[in-house]
Amino acid sequence: MKSRKFSLAAATTAAGVALLAPTAAFAAGDPTCDAYSKKCTHVKGHKITRPPTVVKAEHQTLPFTGGEIVLMTTLGAAALGAGATFVVAGRRRRTAAEA
């Protein structure tokens, strides 16, 4: 049974590669020429550079983007405790109803 699954997986992979490989060759055309309108663009190598802008700030500190780790840990522990309580209460009700 395992060899049948393996051969089916190998055949599917081979078929996928055989079907998808030619699409990459067809899709790879000249990137500077539009195939529909035959308008080809030719880009000149002219680069415009500007001097960097300097922003003067009063404070040279990074903004605070974190959270209160103690509060988040407390809330996470409380959520785990509440979930465990609900699971135990649900199991107790189920066993009480079966008895």
Q: What percent of the chain lies above the pLDDT cut of 90?
A: 21
Q: What percent of the chain lies above the pLDDT cut of 70?
A: 68
Q: What is the mean pLDDT of residues 4-24?
A: 71
Q: What is the DSSP string of 36-81?
A: TT--B----------PPP----S---PPP----HHHHHHHHHHHHH
Comparing 90 with 36, which gets the higher pLDDT?
90
Question: What are 23's two structure tokens?
Answer: 């699409």
- pTM of the entire structure? 0.34
